[in-house]
């Protein structure tokens, strides 16, 4: 089963192949390569050391993998609203989102102390290697975290520049800017609430869902759909339906990521499994397990999953994973993913999107959450 960190080419709903998607991905990759080449030349004019050690790392990270899901959702929103205007403009918005995603991942890895991203050393770990190889003074860990934060900031600046350039050349530039502005605040709020919940040892189910929505669901699906639809001048009815579709599928995306964080294969996800469990992160999966354990009186699950347990070493992680299974949390989250995905398809259909856009969206749901729900209820 596929999830948000895994991809597969192949036949989509209705017998469509992934050729359109692959063409779009290749196009945004080419656009990113060109845009980043220009940014690197500008950085070199500012300072060659900065260009070689920071800007070049950002560019390499952006171009090294990534599924371009957000780009695909921008294009899908644009198609749903009629697909008017220059077909290259949604790709430019998608490229800006890929740069924003790079900022989020680099900063997230620093905060989580994650060593691997996209099957390669995380950016801060690469900076630490450079510190040691260059026999630099001071703490490699502290210096590399500082450098990585600046690298993430640069990716954000480049993202804002590209979005602004695109918005200035669009008749719907003000709408684009409002969506972008709201999305950046949502991302920051979600990330802060995430680290705060970990520090306070929260187990609250509603809070876990709220964090998942802010931190991932909105900027992964809802805002990209809305950005694409804005480019085509979508009316209020279409926009409302796409927002509802995006919230449902975006939350399903994050819940799948929670499952992969606890049960995934590192060779597929591109980063170590167990990180969320070792850090005792407030994921929706963890909160559901604690709710079910409370209801069933499973004291062992409550002890091992609760914030007062021993430091999560290998044995505790094994017991945590077993508790997630035993309480029925894993199955419950799988069921919720299916329900959210089906809801997303229904909302998308109510936008008035044509069959081509609906088929494209169903294919993207499959890529994002790992399964395509039955489409019989799409017109409901």
Please classify residue 224 by burial: count the beta carbons closer than 10 Å to its beta carbon, then call 0-12 exposed, 13-18 middle and 19+ buried.
Answer: buried
The pLDDT value given to residue 313: 63
129 located within any domain: yes
Q: Which domain covers residue 207, as residue numbers?
A: 13-369
144 located within any domain: yes
Report how far residue 183's alpha carbon sits from residue 243's, in angstroms, rounded to the nearest whole number: 13
CATH of residue 86's domain is 1.10.600.10
378 located within any domain: no
Beta bridge partners of 121: 116
- Reference 247, options 213, 199, 198, 212; nearest CA is 213
More confident position, 341 or 377: 341
Backbone phi and psi for residue 116, each to the nearest 5 degrees, phi listed first: -130, 140
The pLDDT value given to residue 320: 93
88 located within any domain: yes
User: Is residue 357 a contact partner of residue 234, using CB atoms and an 8 Å limit?
Assistant: no
6 located within any domain: no
User: Is residue 110 a contact partner of residue 149, using CB atoms and an 8 Å limit?
Assistant: yes
Number of domains present in the structure of the chain: 1
Q: Tell me: the pLDDT tens digits for 276-294?
A: 898 899 999 999 999 999 9
For residue 42, pLDDT over 90 is answered with yes
Query: What mean pLDDT value characterizes the chain?
Result: 88
211 located within any domain: yes
94 located within any domain: yes
pTM, 2 dp:
0.88
Q: Tell me: the pLDDT tens digits for 222-258?
A: 999 999 999 999 999 999 999 999 999 999 999 999 9
380 located within any domain: no
DSSP character for 170?
S
């Amino acid at each position: 089963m596929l999830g948000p960190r895994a991809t597969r080419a192949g036949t989509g709903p209705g017998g469509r192949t992934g050729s359109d998607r692959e063409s779009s991905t290749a196009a945004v990759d080419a656009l990113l390569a060109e845009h980043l080449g220009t940014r690197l030349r500008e950085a070199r004019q500012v300072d060659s050391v900065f260009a070689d050690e920071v800007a070049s790392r950002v560019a390499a990270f952006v171009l090294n993998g990534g599924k371009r899901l957000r780009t695909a959702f921008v294009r899908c929103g644009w198609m749903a609203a009629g697909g008017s205007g220059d077909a290259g403009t949604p790709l430019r918005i998608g490229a800006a989102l890929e740069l924003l995603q790079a900022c989020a991942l680099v900063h997230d890895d620093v905060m989580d102390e994650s060593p691997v991203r996209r099957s390669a050393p995380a950016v801060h770990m690469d900076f630490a290697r450079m510190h040691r190889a260059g026999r630099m003074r001071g703490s490699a860990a502290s210096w590399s975290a500082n450098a990585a934060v600046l690298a993430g900031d640069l990716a954000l600046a480049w993202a804002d520049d590209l979005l602004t350039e695109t918005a200035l050349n669009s008749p719907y530039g003000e709408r684009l800017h409002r969506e972008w502005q709201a999305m950046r605040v949502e991302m920051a709020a979600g990330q802060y609430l995430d680290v705060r919940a970990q520090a306070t040892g929260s187990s609250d189910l509603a809070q876990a869902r709220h964090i998942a929505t802010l931190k991932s669901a909105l900027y992964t699906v809802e805002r990209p759909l809305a950005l694409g639809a804005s480019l085509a001048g979508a009316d209020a009815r279409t926009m409302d339906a796409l927002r509802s579709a995006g919230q449902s599928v975006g939350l399903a995306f994050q819940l799948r990521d929670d499952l992969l964080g606890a049960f995934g294969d590192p060779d597929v996800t591109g980063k170590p499994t167990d990180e969320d469990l070792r850090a005792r992160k407030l994921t929706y999966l963890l909160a559901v397990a604690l709710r079910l354990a409370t209801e069933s009186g499973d004291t062992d699950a409550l002890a091992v999953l609760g914030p007062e347990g021993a430091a999560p070493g290998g044995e505790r992680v094994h017991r945590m994973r077993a508790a997630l299974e035993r309480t029925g949390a894993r199955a419950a989250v799988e069921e919720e993913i299916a329900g959210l995905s089906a809801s997303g398809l229904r909302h998308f259909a109510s936008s008035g999107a044509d069959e081509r856009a609906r088929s494209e969206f169903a294919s993207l749901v499959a890529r994002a959450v790992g399964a395509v729900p039955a489409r019989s209820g799409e017109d409901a």
